[in-house]
Amino acid sequence: MSATRGFLLLTVAASLTAGCVVYETAPGVYVPGPAPVQVVPNTTYERAWAAARNAFLEQGVRVIGEERSTGTISGTKSGINLAAYVHNQADGSVRVEFRTVGATQVDPQLIERIYASYEKNMGR
């Protein structure tokens, strides 16, 4: 009985260890890592759009409308209506224009401060 029990124990142990197989990579063969992430830089248009929008916000202008399809950002501050126009040009450059309408005498330097904020946001 003891020999049968020993043989059975040896058989069970052998079958359990046979089921655990570890495959190692052969020398000189490497498993590829994760695919590299390609960072696409913002286009000039996107940078100009963000800089114009942030210039409005930095100067306390409440943005009331954004239309990327037409390149228009509109806002208001103290009764002054403002608009920023961002357009791609034929030569690949981007043109940004700021306009004010309304009671500009309330804050006559607002448009200059917005332009200065825009230039700062563009890194100029």
* Mean model confidence pLDDT for the chain: 82
Of all residues in the chain, the percent with pLDDT exceeding 90 is: 52
Mind spelling out the 3-state secondary structure of the chain? CHHHHHHHHHHHHHHHHHCCCCCCCCCCCCCCCCCCCCCCCCCHHHHHHHHHHHHHHHCCCEEEEEECCCCEEEEEECCEEEEEEEEECCCCCEEEEEEEEECHHHCCCHHHHHHHHHHHHCCC
73 φ/ψ angles, rounded to the nearest 5 degrees: -120, 125
| pLDDT number for residue 124 | 85
State mean pLDDT over 92-96.
Answer: 92
pLDDT over 90 (residue 112)? yes
- Token couple for 21: 């197989």
CATH 3.90.930.12 assigned to domain 44-121? The reply is no
| pLDDT number for residue 5 | 72
- The total of other beta-carbon atoms located within 10 Å of residue 54's CB is 14
pLDDT over 90 (residue 55)? yes
Q: What is the pLDDT of residues 21-46, one digit of tens each?
A: 666 666 666 656 665 655 445 688 99
Q: What is the pLDDT of residues 11-20, one digit of tens each?
A: 666 665 556 6
Higher pLDDT, 22 or 105: 105
- The total of other beta-carbon atoms located within 10 Å of residue 4's CB is 8
